[in-house]
Copies of this chain bind each other. A is one copy, B any other.
Amino acid sequence: MNIAIQNKKKQIPMNKTTFLFAFIAVTALLFSSCTQPEENKAIQTDPLPSWNDGTTKESITNFVQSVTKPGSDYFIDIPDRIAVFDNDGNLWSERPVYFQLIFAMDRVKELSPLHPEWASEQPFKAVLENDMEELMKYGEHGLLQIVMATHAGNTTDEFEAAVKDWLAAAKHPRFKRPFTDLVYQPMLELLTYLQKNDFKTFIVSGGGIEFMRPWVEEIYGIPRDQVVGSSIKTVFEIIDGKPVIKRLPEMNFIDDKEGKPVGIHKFIGRKPVFCSGNSDGDLQMMQWTASGEGSRFMLYLHHTDSIREWAYDRNSSIGKLDKGLDEAKENGWTVINMKDDWKVIYPFELQE
């Protein structure tokens, strides 16, 4: 049923009276100072200028137009306009490894003077020696050890400061730029486009919720309380008369795969109508979104650009997109072909 709805929407004819509307809008502007400039502007300007024209872009704009048009069969009430976005590899890059892992590794180095034992203790030794191959041998358990050693044991204020300090100083190994420069320009436009159309946009990421919150508001225009992510346990304490929240070395919630619909239900409490992801880790939240009644939109980002970004899918160790690609095809979900659909990848390309 969802397929039918989405396919139908693709067939909504393109607006051929743009010129007439623009003329009316300009005339109205000349004769009145009380028009609503936002609406008129929407008629005249492309909300997604970094997207190439084609079926992907058209399916997005047709969806938004049809669900926001009063009286439309596809109309969605404003409170139901919940849009969820994965973060790593979907709003910003995730290569050579998840940026949060680079943060954790840098933090191991920073904290190592306090831990002389790490020089001979794995997996910390591998990190200090920049031996990625050795590090990977310790698998998930090794990564968890590193996360707990670098993300816990401090207060939430201290951790936030550590994230901000790192982001201000660290550079991406390939692009030699701050990691927050590696957000996708077309996705920034999509977020803004949805927000202007009264969608409430949420991040739903496997990444740490407290790793994201310090910067998402400035970078994506997404409020801190609209972030769903993985978390460790915390506890409230009054230390020397000052209330603090301390971060404990114990997992609280992993917001990935089957965890994503659970996280969405826990934090948002409403089934999304728009779901954007890029890996098999996002498949369950796609299925959850697709299972609702009425209009909805499932969007997969396929990393196909080996020159401007990276190309990977079925056999990738990071951001693997295998089952998701099949399911997208089966169900008629929209798949972004990064190479063909995006004019630019990063915002800094616009200034070059």
- Interface residues of chain A, those whose CB is within 8 Å of chain B, are 33-34, 79, 82, 156, 200, 202, 209-210, 213, 217, 223-227, 231, 234-236, 238, 242-243, 245, 258-262, 265-270, 284, 287-288, 291
Contacts and interface: CB of A to CB of B under 8 A. Distances in A.
A259 B237 CA distance: 10
Contacts of A226: 225
A243 B261 contact: yes
Contacts of A245: 261-262, 265, 288
A242 B261 CA distance: 13
Contacts of A82: 225
Contact of A288 (B202, B227, B236): B236
Contact of A242 (B217, B231, B265, B291): B291
B236 A258 contact: yes
6 contacts: A33-B34, A225-B267, A234-B262, A238-B287, A243-B287, A267-B267
A5 to B, nearest CB: 17
A288 B34 contact: no
B243 A288 contact: yes
A79 B224 CA distance: 9
Contacts of A270: 224-225
B266 A217 contact: no
B33 A217 contact: no
A56 to B, nearest CB: 25
A258 to B, nearest CB: 4
B262 A236 contact: yes
With a 10 A CB-CB cut-off, give which of A209, A223, A266, A284 has the most chain B CB atoms: A266
A269 B33 contact: no
A79 B223 CA distance: 8
Given A34-B34, A268-B224, A270-B225, A243 B209 contact: no
A226 B82 CA distance: 13
A234 B34 contact: no
Nearest to A260: B236
Given A243-B288, A243-B291, 5 more contacts: A209-B269, A224-B270, A236-B261, A243-B284, A243-B287
Contacts of A287: 238, 243
Contact of A79 (B34, B217, B231): B217
With a 10 A CB-CB cut-off, give which of A223, A245, A269 has the most chain B CB atoms: A269
Given A200-B225, A243-B287, A291-B242, A265 B34 contact: no
With a 10 A CB-CB cut-off, give which of A225, A259, A262 has the most chain B CB atoms: A225
Contacts of A260: 236
A12 B312 CA distance: 62
Contacts of A269: 209-210, 213, 224-225, 227
A258 B235 CA distance: 8
